[in-house]
Amino acid sequence: MAFLQSLRSLFKGAGPAALPADLSFGLIDKLGIKPLLEQKQWLAFEKTAAELPPDELTRLLDGLCLSEHYAPLLTQYQQSGDSEMRRLVAAVYATFRAWEARSGAYARELSQQQVDGFTHYLTQAHAHLAHPFAEPALQAQASARLVRVAMGLSEPELAQAAYEQCIALQPRHLLAHLFYFNVLTPKWFGDEEVLEDFVTTATPALRDLLQAMYLVELQSIVDDSTAVAKADFKRANQRRIMELLAQEPRTEDALAAIYFNNYLACLSHNLGELARRDQFLRVMDGRITVNPWPLFGLSPQAVRKLSPPAN
């Protein structure tokens, strides 16, 4: 009972919020999710969500839970019963609240209030994700989400176990790879050598994206360095850079394609390859992912201003 009350109270006090960037990238509208929630068609909502392919379920949950916009509707949903989908929604929203409480500041700059809020919401998210899910697709999504929660709780072994559980169920699960990549970065619990090994041994379906993420991560490390350091980065990674920049923007309506275009646009921007950047920005058509742009101080609004006019 206490667990159920905690789940339902997570959204308490959340009011209407301005429409944020659509992190479902059109999927919420395409599936008619908002009307289902407004009409309290909870079973239809859950059936629709449960039947989605893994990366589309990720898009749906991100679009619903990574802002306050849908919180009033999700509050009604949580208060109407108990289900595995409700636990998953609550976990994603709690994780969002945790990172909002923390902010993007360096750890040494955080106030005690920020640290307490971060830990409070991550602990809630962990509680929602720690219990086994009967449905394999939901278990895979929960395990992927647990990777990020474990990273925030400074538990890299738990993050690794969650990643391995997810890819055992769904080897090409994008979110698990994205989150575990972050765990292995030098700023968290890895280093360049460990990260490179992860990228080069990953499933071939995601290898190009992970290679782009690796290069952008290295770019972020040298971003405030001297011109010599930046030139050294470019020279040391010339082959990888040329192979990636030779690829065309991905036009399919898939989350991996959206991320690939964002990372290639960012990589090109940082290299001064502006014509190449603009090719990717045109295909992106305003579909801006949470990462990697903030690594270089660019908000979604700033990225949109970079976009060339449509032909």
Average pLDDT over residues 175-180: 98
d(CA 242, CA 297): 25
d(CA 233, CA 230): 5
Residue 8 has pLDDT above 80, yes or no: no
Query: What is the four-CA torsion angle of 248, 246, 277, 288, rounded to 10 degrees?
Result: 50
- The tokens of 206 are what? 């995601």
Q: Maximum distance among all alpha carbons in the chain?
A: 60
Residue 104 has pLDDT above 80, yes or no: no
pLDDT of residue 308: 73
pLDDT of residue 199: 97
d(CA 121, CA 130): 14
d(CA 261, CA 216): 13
Average pLDDT over residues 246-252: 96
d(CA 97, CA 117): 8
Helix (H, G, I), strand (E, B) or coil at 105: coil
Q: Report pTM.
A: 0.91
Per-residue pLDDT band for 98 (boundaries 50, 70, 90) equals very high
- The tokens of 300 are what? 């979604």
pLDDT of residue 217: 96
Q: List pLDDT tens digits, range 108-158.
A: 777 787 878 889 999 999 999 999 999 999 999 999 999 999 999 999 999
Helix (H, G, I), strand (E, B) or coil at 66: coil
